[in-house]
């Protein structure tokens, strides 16, 4: 059924299979590690950071304040 010819394990074919296999493994590792975040995740994270920073109000700079004069 499958004939193994001397050309079957030649350098070019073996190198091509190795490169393709390495690319598949690298792509799978990136997706599993979460390197490629979706747009929804980025928007949710930005919204979370904005809501956390909402109450971080810095005190006013009173060095330039001359007070209220009607």
What DSSP string describes 47-60?
A: HHHHHHHTT-PPPP
The CA distance from 33 to 27, in Å, is 10
Per-domain residue ranges for the chain? 11-50
Stated pTM of the model: 0.41
Asked if 30 and 36 count as a contact pair (C-beta separation under 8 A), the reply is yes
pLDDT of residue 12: 77
Residues 6+ apart with CB under 8 A from 58: none
- pLDDT at position 23, please? 93
Q: pLDDT tens digits for 8-50?
A: 667 777 888 889 999 999 988 888 877 666 778 888 888 998 8
CB 13 within 8 A of CB 7: yes
Residue 63 confidence (pLDDT):
77
Taking a C-beta distance cutoff of 8 angstroms, is the pair 14, 20 a contact?
Answer: no
């Amino acid at each position: 059924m499958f004939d193994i010819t001397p050309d079957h394990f030649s350098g070019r074919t073996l190198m091509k299979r190795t490169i393709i296999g390495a690319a598949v493994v690298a792509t799978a590792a990136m997706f599993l590690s979460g390197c490629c975040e979706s747009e929804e995740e980025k928007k949710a994270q930005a919204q979370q950071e904005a809501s956390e920073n909402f109450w971080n109000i810095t005190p006013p700079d009173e060095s330039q304040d001359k007070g209220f004069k009607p």
